[in-house]
Amino acid sequence: MELFLYAIILYLFTGIIQAFIPGKIRSVLMVIGAGVSSTLLTLLSSHVLLSGNTKMALLQFPFPWREITVAIDPLSAFFILVIAVISFLAVLYSIGYLKPYYEKKEVSGTHLFFMNLLIVSMLLVTTIQNGLTFLVVWEIMSLSSFFLVFFEHEKKEVFNAAIQYLVAMHIGVIFLIAAFVLLYIHTGSLAFSALERFFNQNPQASSLVFIFFFIGFGTKAGFIPFHVWLPEAHPAAPAHISGIMSALMIKTGIYGILRVISFTHNPPPGLGYFVLGISLVSALLGILYASVQKDIKRFLAYSSIENIGIIGLGIGTGMLGLSFYNYSMAFLGFGGALFHLLNHSIFKSLLFFSSGSIYAKLHHKNMERMGGLIHSMPYTAVFTLIGSAAICALPPFNGFSSEFLLYFSMIKGIHVPGALVKTASILSIAGLSFVGATALIAFTRMYGITFLGVPRENLSIHENENISTHNKKADDSNKAMLTVMGILAAFALGLGLFPKLGFKLMKHPLRVLMMYDEAPNTPFPDFLGKISFSLFLFLGMFLFFFLLRKLILNNREVKTYKTWDCAYQKATARMQYTASSYSRIFALLFKPFLKLDFSIHSSTELFPSHWKLETHFRDVFDRYIISPVTHSIKNSVKWFSWIQRGSTQQYILYGLLFLLAAIMWILGTS
C-alpha cells in the first residue's frame, strides 16, 4: 500500500519540480519519475492480481473528508496495471513528440504538470471507495485533462473542443452526483460498498441508480449518445494526450460501471439488455462514423467509441449471465470486456501515437492529403499495420483473442433458456461481426490511403509527375517515439499469440466482479490454448510459403515496373483512390445515419478558373439531437440573464438572501 502512495507522490513531485528545471534534464526527470513510479505500481498491482488479496488503507483527513478508504482490490489492480504501463509509455512518447516544442521552448511546465496530475487522478479514481472523495478526484481528472486538451489553445477549433469537453464532463458529473445522492437517501452512506445492500433491498430504485451511474460514467467512456465530446476533444489534444485519454481516461468510465456492477449479485435482466442495446448502438454507429472521417485523429476517436461499445457488449453479456445464473456466460462476458479493455489500451495508444508521428512530420491530420508514408516512415508503417490489424480483431493479434471471448460468451448466451436472451445473444453475435467487418473497411481505408500508394501532397493540378517515380527517402520519427510504438506493437502480437497469459490477469478481477469467494472452479476457457496452437500453425505456414516464394524467385528475373495504368501513360498521384471515394459505396448504404453536407463555393467570374466543393459527413446525433437541445437551452437561459448583471452589490444581495432563507429553513425545521 505504501508503494502506491510513494508512486503517487513521486508523480506529483516530478510534475512540480520539472517546471523549474531547464533543458534536457527536464525530460530525463519526467521519464525517470514516470519510470520509477510505474515500476512500483506494476509490482504492487501484479502482486494483487496474482495473489487476489485486497490491500486497504484508511487515511484520516479533516472535515469534510474524515476517513478515506483507499483500497486496491484485484479489479482496481487491473486498472492500475494498465494505467501504469501505458502512461509510462505515453510519457516516454511525449519526450519524443514534444522535442520540437522543447527546442522552441513552447512546452510550459503546466502542461507536463497536468499530464502527471491526470495520471495521478486516474490512479486515485480506481482506488478510492468513498463517494464524495471519488467525485473530487473524478473532477480533478476531468479538469486536468481539460487543460491538456487546451495545449494548442491559440487555435480556435481546439478552444471550442476543450470547452465542449468541459461542458460534457459536467453534465456527466450531474448524473453521478444524482446517483450518489439517491444512494445516500436510501442507505445513508456514500461509499460504493453501500450499493450491495441497496441492490439487495430495493431492486427498483437501485435500477434507476444504476442507470444514472451508467449515464454518468458512460459520458466519460463515450457511449453513444453521450459521446459528442469525444470526436472533438481527441483530435484537438496533442498525440500523447489523445493516447492517454483514449487508452486510459475513457476506461475510467468503464471502471466506474464495473465497480457498480461488482456490488450486484444478480441484476434484473432489463439492465443487461439496456447495457447490451446501448453498447451495440455505440459499436455500430461508432465504426460507421469512423469509416467516413477524413481527419485521422477524429477517425481514431470514433473508433474508440466503437471499442467502448464492444467492451460494453461484454459487460452487457456478463450482466445477463449474472441475471440468468449462467456463470460461464458471465465469466466469459466480463473476461472478454476486461481483456478487450486491456487490448484497446494497447492498440489505440499505438494508433494515436502513430497519428502523432504523422502529424509531427506532415503538420496536418487530413488523410486525403497523405499517401505513401510507408516509404518515408517504414517503422511507423509496420507498427501501425500491426495496430490496425489488431483493432480489426484479426488473428494473430490481441484484438482477436478478446473478441473471441466475447463471441464465446454470447454463444453461451444462446444456450440459456429464454427466447429473448437467445435472440439477444445471436443478434449481438451478428452485430459484433458486422462491427468487425466495418472496422475492416475503416482501417484498410485509413491505412491504404495514408501509408500506401504515393504522396498526394505538394502536387499541383498541372504537375504530371508519374506515380511511379516519386522520391522514396526514409525520414521516420525519432527513437523515443519509435521505441514506444514498437513496445506496444510487441504487446499486441504477444497477447494475440498467448491469450492465456493475458487471461490469467483477469482471473481475480473476475472473482470480484462476479462475487464468488471460494476457490474458483472457474470454467477456464481451454480453447485459448488451441487458438494459440492454430495461430502458430498459421504463422508457420505463412513463413513456409514466404520462404518458398523467395527460394523460387531467387534465380529468376524479378523486374520492377510502374503500376498498371490501363495503358494511360500519364497517371499522376492525384489520380489515386481517395478516402472519400473509398467509403462512398458503404456510406450510401447507410444514408439515414450519415448526413452529408455538401457545399459548393462557385466563382462568379465570367471565365471561372477555380471552384471549390466541400463534403462533410455529420454525426446525426450531434446534428439532430444534441445541437438542437443545446441551442434551445442556450435560447431559454437568455430569459434569466437579468439575474447575472455583473454588479457586485447585487451578488452580495443574493448571498444575503440565501443566508436568510437558510436560517429560516433551519429554524422552521428544528
Partner 1 sequence: MIELIVNVIVLVLMPFLYVGIINRVKSFWAGRKGPSVLQPFYDFAKMMKKGEVISTTTSFIFRITPSLLLASTLSAALVTPIIRHKSILGFDGDFIFFIYMLGLGKFFSVLSAMDTGSSFEGMGATREVTFSSFIEPAFLIILSSLCLITGYTRFDDIFPQLTGNPDIVTLIAGLSVLVIFAMILVEGCRVPVDDPNTHLELTMIHEVMILDNSGPDLAFIQYASSAKMVILASLIPNLIIARGTSLLTWIILYLIIITVSAILIGLIESLMARLRLIHLPQFIFLLSSVSLVVLAAIIVYTYSFGGSL
Work out whether the CA dihedral 420, 422, 428, 434 comes out positive or negative. negative
Residue 546 touches partner 1, criterion: CB under 8 A: yes
Region binding partner 1 by CB under 8 A among candidate stretches 44-52, 137-145, 474-482, 545-553: 545-553
What is the closest distance, in whole angstroms, from the C-beta atom of residue 462 to partner 1 in the complex? 19
| Residue 665: all three cell numbers together | 429553513
Region binding partner 1 by CB under 8 A among candidate stretches 2-10, 64-72, 300-308, 372-380: 372-380
Residue 109 · residue 20 · CB < 8 Å = yes
Instruction: List the interface residues with partner 1, window 461-480 (CB under 8 A).
Output: 467-470
Instruction: List the interface residues with partner 1, window 93-132 (CB under 8 A).
Output: none
Residue 576 touches partner 1, criterion: CB under 8 A: yes
Instruction: List the interface residues with partner 1, window 139-178 (CB under 8 A).
Output: none
Per CB under 8 A, the list member of 221, 449, 492, 506 interacting with partner 1 is: 449
Q: Which residues pair with 600 in a beta bridge?
A: 613
What is the closest distance, in whole angstroms, from the C-beta atom of residue 572 to partner 1 in the complex? 10
What is the closest distance, in whole angstroms, from the C-beta atom of residue 533 to partner 1 in the complex? 8
Contact letters for partner 1, residues 504-533 (x by CB under 8 A): ----------------------xx--xx-x
What is the closest distance, in whole angstroms, from the C-beta atom of residue 564 to partner 1 in the complex? 5
Q: How many CB atoms lie within 10 A of CB 425?
A: 24
Task: Give dist(CA 505, CA 82) in Å, integer.
Answer: 11
Residue 444 touches partner 1, criterion: CB under 8 A: yes
Residue 251 · residue 341 · CB < 8 Å = yes
Per CB under 8 A, the list member of 436, 496, 502, 509 interacting with partner 1 is: 436
- Nearest alpha carbon to residue 331 among 393, 406, 280: 406
- Nearest alpha carbon to residue 358 among 302, 278, 300: 300
| Residue 203: all three cell numbers together | 431492486
| Residue 298: all three cell numbers together | 477524429
Residue 580 touches partner 1, criterion: CB under 8 A: no
Q: Which residues pair with 615 in a beta bridge?
A: 598
Per CB under 8 A, the list member of 28, 174, 437, 662 interacting with partner 1 is: 437
**Please, what is the angle between helix 327-362 and helix 74-97, to 10°?**
10
Please return the burial class of 38, using the count of CB atoms within 10 Å of its CB with bins 0-12, 13-18 and 19+. buried
Does residue 366 sit in helix, strand or coil?
strand
Residue 470 · residue 392 · CB < 8 Å = no
Residue 446 touches partner 1, criterion: CB under 8 A: no
Residue 314 touches partner 1, criterion: CB under 8 A: no
Q: Which helix (H) or strand (E) holds 619?
A: strand 612-619
Per CB under 8 A, the list member of 160, 563, 602, 632 interacting with partner 1 is: 563
Per CB under 8 A, the list member of 542, 624, 651, 665 interacting with partner 1 is: 542
Region binding partner 1 by CB under 8 A among candidate stretches 202-210, 235-243, 272-280, 567-575: 567-575
What is the closest distance, in whole angstroms, from the C-beta atom of residue 403 to partner 1 in the complex? 8
Task: Give dist(CA 222, CA 166) in Å, integer.
Answer: 14
Contact letters for partner 1, residues 391-430 (x by CB under 8 A): -xxxx----x---x--xx-xx--xx---x--xx-xx--xx
Q: How many CB atoms lie within 10 A of CB 282?
A: 28
Residue 488 · residue 243 · CB < 8 Å = no
Per CB under 8 A, the list member of 58, 519, 585, 667 interacting with partner 1 is: 585
Closer of 108 and 581 to partner 1 (Cβ):
581
| Residue 659: all three cell numbers together | 443566508
| Residue 196: all three cell numbers together | 450491495
Residue 651 touches partner 1, criterion: CB under 8 A: no
Residue 371 touches partner 1, criterion: CB under 8 A: yes
Number of residues engaging partner 1 in binding (CB under 8 A)? 88
Per CB under 8 A, the list member of 64, 473, 519, 561 interacting with partner 1 is: 561
Distance of CA 244 to the CA centre of its chain: 8
